[in-house]
Amino acid sequence: MEELVVDVLVIGWGKGGKTLAGALGRNGRTVALVERSREMVGGSCINIACVPTKDLVESAAHRRDDDDPQAWFADAVAGRDNLVEKLRARNHAMLSEVEAVTLVGGRARFTAPHQVEVTAGDDRMLVRAASIVVNTGTVPAWPDIPGAVPSARVHDSTTIQHVSPLPERLVIVGGGDVALEFADMFAQFGSRVTLVQRGARVLRHEDADVADAARELLEEHGVEFITGAAVTSIVDAPDRATVAVAVAVAVDGVAREFAADAVLLATGRRPATDDLGLDVAGIVRDERGYVVVDERLGTSVEGVYAVGDVNGGPQFTYVSLDDHRIVTDRIMGAGRRTIVDRVAVPRTTFLTPPLARVGLNVTQARAQGRAVLVGSKRIADIAAMPRPKIVGETHGLISVVVDPGTDLVLGATVFSIDAHEVINLIALAMRAGVSATALRDGIWTHPSSTEALNEVLASLIPASAAA
């Protein structure tokens, strides 16, 4: 069997792993990166997750009522394929041009704490390394519902991206980011979307006014919500799938069975650790299968680290990227970076317009018993922010939570055009200790979305007095 000995082995071409492989390779370490799938060169983000889905979201948002849905969707898919192909080639080139990095195609499996066997068809290779970085990500978690099995009509978030033709009726099961982003996107492409969700409320982690505004937006785009509902079966027939649901509170006139041309199961993800041989190597997993790590992302085996989704942290590409900084620092630097250093990590759900949040919202501040000030305005009412009116997208609201004692921002929700950008500015202000007053009095370009801060932060009132 062919053998390869390197300083650092990265398993999986995720965001953290590929960045780390390039950085270490350029700094004199020999590195091997193993990826099991040609279609995943570059990792989930560019192939099946962030980039292709946001490209489709963007295309869907630009469709007008008189544009033919099928033709528009086909064009959007072709554009997406073209983009992904380019990004994949670029990702391959970025590492193949680093001499110290060896790219290995195949499935890796631990056979000892510092050794993996890589299998590709009949080919086998042994790779040994003093440092190993597990970056295998997650895969869709299929729910335990009768009939919930992959088929031409029953999809997960990966296969639905290749559905053809555009489904006239799409039933989505779930209430997280994947469910909401695909619901909004397909509704705007022209599908009739029904979203079935277990909880009584959508976006239960958001303030009630934010969740209501998001639901109203999606309903305006044509999404029907069936809340407090459990899917009891999916029956896949040649001409249609039928999704049966049991609802907690019966409402007259609401169907219990939904016919669909396609079903999307958006019920979460599970770690890609099933067949990785972690137990053989003594690498401890938690009860859900995620690799257990310490604050510096070390596993139970010295010299073995886990970065990205597989370590059970927040599942965002930029968190995987930050994980690479911690492990790179540990392998090449002072080893002082930890996940505890992370302050104000923002997130965005890519609806149209996007819904972004950082830090505490009003509900969470109240739950902590904090007396806070809140500035909250509907986008349509913010006179000092004409950009949404210029663009013709005035849905949403902005809400900022401020500590009255320190004048520091504790959190913000921005549900508006440009929210995914504005939230980064607020997150930076939180990290840098910039006061709410400084943000209120900031000199911002005009017309822009940032200038909403001038007006929203001038309207602070005690949370107890806010609705």
Ligand X SMILES: Cc1cc2nc3c(=O)[nH]c(=O)nc-3n(C[C@H](O)[C@H](O)[C@H](O)COP(=O)(O)OP(=O)(O)OC[C@H]3O[C@@H](n4cnc5c(N)ncnc54)[C@H](O)[C@@H]3O)c2cc1C
Which residues are marked as active site? 446
d(CA 73, CA 190): 9
Indicate which of ligand X, ligand NAD, none lies near residue 108 (CB less than 5 to 8 Å, by partner kind).
Answer: ligand X
What's the CA angle centered on 419, arms 414 and 420, to 5 degrees? 125
Element housing 364 (H / E): helix 362-367
| Residue 173 partner contact from ligand X, ligand NAD, none using kind-dependent CB cut-offs of 5 to 8 Å | ligand NAD
Q: Is 320 in the site for ligand NAD (CB under 6 A)?
A: no
358: which strand partners?
412
Binding mask 22-51 for ligand NAD (x = CB under 6 A): ------------------------------
Radius of gyration in angstroms for the set of CA atoms belonging to the chain, rounded to a whole number: 24
Number of residues that bind ligand NAD (CB under 6 A): 21
CA–CA distance, 401 with 412 (Å, rounded to integer): 6
User: Binding of ligand NAD at residue 136 (CB under 6 A)?
Assistant: no
268 binds ligand NAD, rule: CB under 6 A: yes
Output DSSP code: residue 136: -
Longest dimension (CA), the chain: 71
Q: Is 352 in the site for ligand X (CB under 6 A)?
A: no
Closest distance of CB 207 from ligand X, Å = 22
Nearest C-alpha neighbor of 353 from the set 452, 266, 427, 437 = 452
Instruction: CB nearer to ligand NAD: give 92 or 270.
Output: 270
Segment near ligand NAD (CB under 6 A), from 106-114, 167-175, 242-250, 393-401? 167-175
d(CA 355, CA 206): 10
Residues 325-364, mask of contacts with ligand NAD (x by CB under 6 A): ----------------------xxxx--------------
Helix or strand holding residue 76 (H, E): helix 69-96
Distance CA 102, CA 346 (A): 34
Count of residues in the chain = 467
Q: Does 454 bind ligand X (CB under 6 A)?
A: no
Stretch that binds ligand NAD, among 187-195, 265-273, 411-419, 428-436 (CB under 6 A): 265-273
Q: In whole angstroms, what is the distance from residue 375 CA to residue 463 CA?
A: 9
The bridge status of strand 101-105 relative to strand 31-35 is parallel
Binding site for ligand NAD (CB under 6 A): 143, 173-179, 181, 198, 231, 266-269, 315-316, 347-350
Q: Which residues bind ligand X (CB under 6 A)?
A: 11-16, 34-37, 40, 43-45, 49-50, 53-54, 107-108, 135-137, 157, 178, 272, 276, 308-310, 315-318, 320, 350
